[in-house]
Amino acid sequence: MSADKVVEVSRILGALSRELDALERAAGEIPAVERNVVRMRGTLRALEIQFEDLAAMQEGGG
Amino acid sequence: MERSPTEYWNPVLETLDQERLQALQLRKLRRVVSWVYERSPLYRRKYQAAGLEPGDIRTWDDVARIPLLTKDDYRCQGVDPFPYGETLCVPLDEVTEFHQTSGTTGTPVYQPDTWADWEWWSECWAAILWAQGFRSTDRVFIPFGYNIFVAYWAGHYACEKIGCEVVPGGVLGTRERLMKMRELRVNAFMATPTYVLGMAETARTEIGADPREWGIQKILCAGEPGALVPSTKKRMEEAWGCPVYDHVGATEVGAWSFECRHQPGGLHVNEAMFLVELLALDADTPVTEPGVPGRIVITSFDRQAQPCVRFDTKDVSMWAEGACGCGRTWRILDRGVHGRVDHITKVKGVLFSPVTVEEVVRSFDELDGEFEIVVEKRGDLDHISLKVEMPRDMGEEGRRDLLQRLASALRWKTQLNFDIQPVEHGTLPRYQVKARRFHDRRKSG
């Protein structure tokens, strides 16, 4: 996989995270949404830890 | 063995060049050091006592300044926030999983995980299973009673993540588990080496079946050493007619190492998720050259609730030379975990490792492989004895010859004369996890 793809995957993961924020806000305090978002965030993080640092390194973030 | 086009769970991480891998590790290390410093009173106290601030970690030379974490550090557990105390790094209401260590070496350690941590566990396990050839077409049996110990829980979740069909085999007895495996035509399973051998024996003696005919294609071993002891691996592979792969993890650490399907004679370290260092057996100096034994010290980069930073496992291994045919750039620990520092001891002035006895005993096809080693003082002298189970139908002359050959092989491999005590078949304990076959009674007085 090319470095560009790592950056692209990381960017989309970031967008998904923001979508989850938006979903939580839109639902207010509906437990069914809140708790399922927690679980989806867990799955999302399993991917973020594999791509976000490499993407930051690629983009010169040290 | 040729590489498969789908060899890797994450080809980006598993084939990173060393320069980028080390840069990634340093970046993750700095983050986890800050994480524990800011959230755990225990870590903060330790680091402040060592004069260390998280920002001090700039290069690899700074890593040695980070204090080691030991099992003793977990003694702060049991106080508020109950029951994890000062090692907890997240609000208690974010914890969704509880597990604990077996307590083999002392008081059990409680291990909290958040849901994100639990996904991390199964992600690490998924990389392992994938490397061993587990795919969505597999029906996997887990002959293990899930409970407060983490063993196989994450394996179950990782199987689901990969898409395998998982059959939970807890509660059932060995015979019933075997019947279910045969009935459902499972093609893979996970167990400790001791249990893998015990199941094959039960299949032959109680069911009257040859498990090699059941279509098992791969077995994952975890929970105790053995799958990388050549004679034990050979025994298991011959009993089931399929490859057997090793995996080593720990409750406090995570699923940090694995043998891939190319069987390089050691364990790959998942270096994208963990930092594994070897330190000298009797000092805290790094061991970097291949072939030199060292204590395994591990940092889990991405765990949140209770990460371990430079955890001294007290397990012993050595770096391997060369690369694996699988193409992963992750380093390999030669022959996996060789034993524990406190099990590698001097007997009669000779350095002795119990795993050598396992290798010898299990190289004798006539023996069923169970054994027990006891070292004790007799007067001022060390005395080492070995109980082995004798074959059921062997005559007196055959037994005498077998014992002589065994004594000779042990003397050759260990430089020690063993007091070999033959016992009847079925006399020694059968373990499912954490077999305890070595007893050094000199220490307990």
The reply to whether B119 touches chain A by the CB within 8 Å rule is: yes
To the nearest whole Å, the CA of B52 is away from the closest chain A CA by 22
pLDDT tens-place string over residues B69-110: 998 898 788 889 999 999 999 999 999 999 998 776 678 899
Residues 140 to 179 of B: which have CB under 8 A from any A CB?
Answer: none
Across the interface, of A42, A54, A56, the residue whose CB is closest to B116 is: A42
pLDDT tens-place string over residues B6-31: 999 999 999 999 999 999 999 999 99
Q: Which amino acid is residue B364, in one-letter code?
A: F
Question: Most B CBs within 10 Å: which of A5, A54, A59, as the mutation test of the B interface?
Answer: A54
The reply to whether A1 touches chain B by the CB within 8 Å rule is: yes
* pLDDT confidence band for B425 (50 / 70 / 90): confident
CATH architecture of the domain with range B1-341: 3-Layer(aba) Sandwich (3.40)
- The pLDDT of residue A1 is 62
Per the structure, the complete domain to which residue A43 belongs is given by 3-58
Contact (CB<8Å) B20/A38:
no
pLDDT tens-place string over residues A28-53: 999 999 999 999 999 999 999 999 99
- The pLDDT of residue B278 is 98
Q: Is the pTM of this model over 0.90?
A: no
Reduced to 3 states (helix: H, G, I; strand: E, B; else coil), residue B326 is coil
* HSE-up (13 A, CA, CB side) for residue A12: 6
How far is B381 from B300, CA to CA, in rounded Å? 43
Instruction: Assess whether the previous peptide bond of B91 is cis (omega < 30° from 0).
Output: no
To the nearest whole Å, the CA of B309 is away from the closest chain A CA by 17
Q: What is the DSSP string of B98-120?
A: EEE---TTSSPPEEEEEHHHHHH
The answer to whether residue B445 scores a pLDDT higher than 50 is no
| In chain B, ranges of CATH 3.40.50.12780 domains | 1-341
How far is B404 from B410, CA to CA, in rounded Å? 10
| In chain B, ranges of CATH 3.30.300.30 domains | 344-440
The ipTM value here is 0.95
Contact (CB<8Å) A42/B114:
yes
The answer to whether residue B322 scores a pLDDT higher than 60 is yes
Contact (CB<8Å) A42/B115:
yes
Q: Are B190 and B219 in contact (CB under 8 A)?
A: yes
The reply to whether A42 touches chain B by the CB within 8 Å rule is: yes
- The pLDDT of residue B341 is 85
Mean pLDDT of B359-386: 89
Contact (CB<8Å) B120/A45:
yes
Residues 260 to 289 of B: which have CB under 8 A from any A CB?
Answer: 272-273
To the nearest whole Å, the CA of B120 is away from the closest chain A CA by 5
Mean pLDDT of B292-321: 97
Q: Which residues of A touch B95 (CB under 8 A)?
A: none
The reply to whether A3 touches chain B by the CB within 8 Å rule is: no
Q: Which residues of B touch A45 (CB under 8 A)?
A: 116, 119-120
Q: Which residues of A touch B11 (CB under 8 A)?
A: 1
Sequence-distant (≥ 6) Cβ neighbours of residue B362 within 8 angstroms: B229, B231, B232, B234, B235, B369
Contact (CB<8Å) B301/A49:
yes
Q: Are B331 and B323 in contact (CB under 8 A)?
A: no
pLDDT tens-place string over residues B236-252: 999 999 999 999 999 99
Of all residues in chain A, the one with the smallest CA distance to B116 is A42
- The pLDDT of residue B444 is 56
- Mean pLDDT in chain B? 93
The answer to whether residue B114 scores a pLDDT higher than 70 is yes
Across the interface, of B28, B119, B272, the residue whose CB is closest to A42 is: B119
Counting the structural domains of chain A, the total is 1
Residue range B344-440 forms a domain whose CATH class is alpha beta
Q: Which residues of A touch B272 (CB under 8 A)?
A: 50
Strand B345-347 and strand B110-114: the pairing is unpaired
Q: How many CB pairs under 8 A join A and B?
A: 45
How far is B295 from B313, CA to CA, in rounded Å? 7
Buried b (16+ CB within 10 A) or exposed e, B346-385: ebeeeebbbbbbbbbbbbbeebbbbbbbbbeeeeeebbbe
